[in-house]
Amino acid sequence: MDSIKLKQLISDELSVIAINDMRMIMSTEYGRRFIQWLIMQCGQQDTSFTKDSRTFFLEGMRNVALIIEKTIVQENLNGLKALHKSEVEYLELKETLAEKQLNKKKEEC
C-alpha cells in the first residue's frame, strides 16, 4: 500500500471517529451547550468583512463553525435536530442569565 492510500484510509477512519464523537457530544445538554457556544465564538452568524486583512482571520473562524455544523448534520436528520436543540438551549440559557442579572440589579436598588 502506498503512502497516499494509507493517508486517505487513515483520514477516512478519523472522519468516521469524529462523527461518532460529535454524536456523543451532542447527546448531552452540556455538549450541545458547549458546541453552540463554540459556534457563536467563531462568529458563524456575524459579518466577517472588515476592509482589511482581519477579514481573512474572521472568515477562517467562521469556517470552523461551518465545519462543526456540517459534521453535526452530515449523517442524518437526528444531527439537524440536535443542532437546532442546541441553539434553543443556548438561547434559553442566555435569557435565563439576562433575567438573573436584571433581578440582581433590581435587588441592589
- The whole-number pLDDT of residue 75 equals 66
Range of the domain at 96: 3-108
Q: 9-51 pLDDT, tens per residue? A: 999 999 999 988 999 999 999 999 999 999 999 998 888 889 8
- Give me the number of domains the chain comprises: 1
- The whole-number pLDDT of residue 64 equals 95
Helices (H), 27-109: 29-41, 54-73, 77-108
Q: 56-82 pLDDT, tens per residue? A: 999 999 999 999 999 888 867 788 899
* Average pLDDT rounded to a whole number, residues 78-91: 91
Q: Decide: residue 82, CB within 10 A, 0-12 exposed, 13-18 middle, 19+ buried.
A: buried
- The whole-number pLDDT of residue 74 equals 82
**Are the CB atoms for 72 and 66 separated by under 8 Å?**
no
* Average pLDDT rounded to a whole number, residues 74-94: 88
pLDDT above 90 (res 108): no
